[in-house]
Amino acid sequence: MAKYTQLAADIVKNVGGKSNVISLAHCITRLRFKLKDEKKANTDVLKAMDDVVTVVQSGGQYQVVIGPKVGEVYDEILASQGIKAGGGDDAAEDDAPKKPLDVFIDTVSGIFTPVLGVLAASGMIKGLTALLAAFNIIEQGGGTYQVMSVIGDAFFYFLPVFLGLSAARKFKMSEFAAMAIGASLVYPSLSTIMQGEALYTVLSGSTFESPVHLEFLGIPVLLMTYASSVIPIILAVFVGSKVEKFYAGVVPQLLRNFGVPFCTLLTMIPLTLLVVGPIATWLGKAIGAIATGLFDVSPILAGVFIGGIWQIAVVGGVHWGLIPIMIQNIVTYGADPVVITMFGTTFAQIGVVLAIILRTKDQKLKGIAIPAFLSGIFGVTEPAIYGVTLPRKKFFIISCIGGAIGGALVAMLGVKLFIFGGLGVFQYPCFIDPATNDLSGMYNGMIVSAVAFAVGFGLSFPLYKDEAPAPAAAAAAAAPTPAPAPSAQPAAPVVEEKKIEREILKSPLTGNIVALADVPDEVFSSGLLGKGIAVEPTVGKVIAPADAEVTTLFPTGHAIGLLTDKGAEMLIHVGMDTVKMEGRGFKTHVAQGDHVKQGQTLIEFDIDMIKKEGYPVITPVLVTNHDKYKDIVTTDGKTVNGGDNLITVVV
């Protein structure tokens, strides 16, 4: 983990420091911060880090996308930065009002992310057991089969206990008290009682008709099957956290250590069995029934919709809202035919990525795309989305089309998810019906993945081409140094060619000159991102300061990165915090990868709108690879017109 010490320190510093962290969790690819003030985070700095894929602000969370090594980075943050799992210096929630959807997504992801790894692993073991039994490699019912079943089933059977722990951390309840409530839901004697003869039936003739097998203080107990359930324990711990807080305020300090748990359990376990559990179970069944009912109206359209929007939901981190429905359907109906229509999206994504790998001559892009393709095979698509397809919007759309076609095919072939487990190719065994060992679902799942992959690859391969290169001499100077090949000329002269002369960079803006130290953002004023100068623009237009390649163009249009033909790397950032305008008031005239001529219009922006929304319009113009040069000399004028000399790079 030591190799991530500096990365951990840089991440914590740029999310606003330890004191700004309310909570921290992680999923398969993302560090999920809950911050007191997201405005204190230096998003652009984080995005620029080599080991950070991107940053997503969604669902009330500040998500730093790392990729497959996220677990190691998370552990290093806990070990070296003094942040405890689940919180920072002060885990108190801020009082700012939150959108209901943000609260829901934050709650669900906060409860499920700690158990996701074991949840997926247990599902993979269940799928492997079914696969081995279906191919008669192990005898169904034999000793090996039974031990494998124990390994795969134990976590799911006692899921209320594990979710009780993570829900307690989320709702700030005593962890062991919450686990005790979860354990009560799967207490073996209750299952035995349910198998006996009912005393009588309540709510007869309604959807909620239930047999009564025992009473508590004369009140009928509506026993439900809570093994593998999700909603009952989450709701029980939420209520329990309020009950525990009440008792903590009334039980004398001397008795609080055992008195609060005593009163809480004595209240909550009967309340859960009598009220909370049945209501939550009915609620879960209703949600599952609604989802299944909508799916039954038009399975193909539902598949197209879910498959098509799934990757968009992943970008926003809101796909978590559908995970409980998937699990609830498996628990209630034995399988999920609805949410699993997203299955093909992974393979559509990697189909697009493989086409780009085969077509591109950009070695830097290949360096990003190849590991993204490999992780995508196993179901982790964020590196592919953020690193390859999303910056090239057309190809992200193609991956969504492939996902939509895959979703329609899942519905048409009747593929169902019987086990919540692995991702990507590891999900194939999860389509085997464990009751019958029917392999048709697995084979149909393979067909879906092949078709989705073919769509993504087939549409992308003929369409993709690297952006038109610069003229030969400029391209040679702008290209990264390649690894020497047996027949290739040594790359060193190219590097030297970039440094043989000074470069004068023209002003990309018209306006008033501002010293970089006076920029009202310490990330820029400190020179952390590069050396240069700033302009308070009077004309809402950014032009190219030199002949250059567009290396970075933010989707919001507020910032652009350039690599000049003579080797200077530049960042032009229009305004402060203007990323929050989400593109309003900005119009881009170029695309990432374009080669532009000095004076060519890059971006137009509405100065009045930026100021009206409360953001400074001051614009830093930086040379980010300044460490390669002897000096960066800026103009000493007070005003500047677009195209005037602004910065001289001294070799």
- 3-state secondary structure at position 312: helix
Please state, in angstroms and rounded to a whole number, the distance separating the CA atoms of residues 506 and 598: 8
CB atoms within 10 A of CB 440: 14
Q: Find all residues with CB under 8 Å of 2, minimum gap 6, and list them.
A: 76
Q: Tokens representing 20?
A: 């700004």
Q: Are 432 and 335 in contact (CB under 8 A)?
A: no
Contacts 24+ apart (CB under 8 A), 167-173: 167/111, 167/233, 167/234, 167/237, 167/238, 168/237, 168/241, 169/86, 169/110, 169/114, 170/107, 170/110, 170/111, 171/237, 171/238, 171/240, 171/241, 172/91, 172/241, 173/237, 173/240, 173/241, 173/244
Looking at the DSSP bridge assignments, the partners of residue 588 are: 603
Tokens 């008195």 correspond to what residue?
259
310 vs 108, 306, 340, 394, 399, CA distance in Å?
A: 17, 6, 10, 17, 10
Per DSSP, what are the bridge partners of residue 514? 534
CA distance 413 to 441: 8
User: Token digits for 120?
Assistant: 């997926």
Distance of CA 624 to the CA centre of its chain: 28
432 touches 441 (CB < 8 A): yes
Cross-strand pairs, 498: none
Dist. CA 383–CA 315, nearest whole Å: 11
- For 136, the token pair is 């008669």
Say how many Å lie between the first and final Cα of the chain, rounded: 38
545's CB contacts (< 8 A; 6+ apart) are: 505, 506, 507, 508, 562, 564, 570, 572, 598, 621, 646, 647
CA–CA distance, 225 with 233 (Å, rounded to integer) = 12
Cα 92 versus chain centre, distance:
24
Chain centre distance of CA 626: 33
Other CB atoms within 10 Å distance of the CB of residue 193: 13
Q: How far apart are CA 517 and CA 155, in angstroms?
A: 56
In the sheet that 569-573 helps form, which strands lie side by side, from edge to edge? 595-596, 548-553, 559-564, 569-573, 619-623, 531-537, 511-514, 639-640
Decide: 469 and 595 in contact? Cβ < 8 Å.
Answer: yes
Catalytic residues: 27, 573
Asked whether the beta carbons of 490 and 484 are under 8 A apart, the reply is: yes
DSSP, residue by residue, 467-522: PPPPPHHHHHHHSPPPPP-TTSPPSHHHHHHHTSS-EEEEPSS-EEEE-GGGSS-H
Nearest CA-CA partner of 389 in 405, 401, 406: 401
Angle CA 4–60–342, to nearest 5: 85
